[in-house]
C-alpha cells in the first residue's frame, strides 16, 4: 500500500493540480465539483479530470475506508437497517459487493452508495470513474469503495483478486462508512 499511496495516488494528485493550474475552467472548484462536472467539461479538460481527478478522489476516499483490523465497531444500527432493507442482510450485501468488485473487467472500483431515495446500491466503475460523475454509474453518494486495479493488490495477491476482495472486509473502517451515511 505504501507504493500505491506514494506513487500511484501522488501521480494523480500531481496531474490534476497541473491541469487545474493550466485551465481557468477548473480553477476554484473542489475535487468533488470537478468529478461531478467531468462529463460536461470540454474534451481537453474532461479526460484529465476523469483520470487524474477521479484517481485522486477515489484514492483519498479509499484510504479512509480502511482501518486496522478490529479497530471499528461494524455497521451502525442505522446502516445495518438500510443494508437489510436494500439487500436482505449484511452477508448478501457483501456477496453483491464482492461480485461487483470481482466482475469488474480490467481496472476499476466497487462502490456501496446511497441513492437519493435513501436506498443503498452497489455499483462498479471502470478506471478512475466514480459515482459522483454523471452518467457513469448508478447515481449515488459513495459510502464505501474498493480499488480493484491490479496495482492495489498485485504485490501481495498476484492474480488472486477474489482473495484480496474477501480480505478487504477485515479492514473496512465501519466508523467512516457510518459517518458517510450521515
151 marked as binding residue? yes
- The percent of the chain in helix, strand and coil, each rounded to the nearest 5, is 55, 15, 30
- Cα 6 from chain centroid? 18
Which domains are delineated in the chain? 2-64 (1.10.287.990), 77-181 (3.55.40.20)
Bridge partners for 145 per DSSP:
111
- Taking the C-alpha atoms of residue 156 and residue 150, their distance in angstroms, rounded to an integer, is 10
4 marked as binding residue? yes
Reported pTM: 0.92
Provide Rg for the chain, Cα atoms.
16
Instruction: Give the residue from 81, 74, 26, 80 showing the smallest Cα distance to 49.
Output: 26
5 marked as binding residue? no
In this predicted structure, what is the pLDDT of residue 44? 86
- pLDDT, average across residues 106-120: 96
In this predicted structure, what is the pLDDT of residue 70? 86
91 marked as binding residue? no
Does the structure show a pLDDT above 80 at 91? yes
Amino acid at each position: 500500500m505504501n507504493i500505491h499511496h506514494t506513487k500511484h495516488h501522488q501521480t494523480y494528485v500531481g496531474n490534476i493540480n497541473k491541469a487545474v493550474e493550466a485551465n481557468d475552467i477548473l480553477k476554484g472548484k473542489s475535487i468533488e465539483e470537478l468529478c461531478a462536472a467531468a462529463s460536461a467539461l470540454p474534451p481537453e479538460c474532461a479526460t484529465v479530470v476523469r483520470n487524474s481527478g477521479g484517481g485522486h478522489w477515489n484514492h483519498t476516499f479509499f484510504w479512509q475506508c480502511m482501518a486496522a483490523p478490529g479497530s471499528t465497531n461494524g455497521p451502525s444500527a442505522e446502516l445495518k437497517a438500510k443494508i437489510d432493507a436494500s439487500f436482505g442482510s449484511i452477508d448478501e450485501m457483501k456477496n453483491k459487493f464482492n461480485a461487483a468488485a470481482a466482475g469488474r473487467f480490467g481496472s476499476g472500483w466497487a462502490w456501496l452508495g446511497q441513492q437519493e431515495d435513501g436506498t443503498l446500491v452497489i455499483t462498479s466503475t471502470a478506471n478512475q470513474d466514480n459515482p459522483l460523475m454523471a452518467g457513469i454509474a448508478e447515481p449515488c453518494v459513495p459510502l464505501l469503495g474498493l480499488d480493484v486495479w491490479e496495482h492495489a493488490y498485485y504485490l501481495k495477491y498476484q492474480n488472486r483478486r477474489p482473495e484480496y476482495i474477501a480480505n478487504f472486509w477485515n479492514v473496512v473502517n465501519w466508523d467512516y462508512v457510518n459517518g458517510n451515511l450521515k
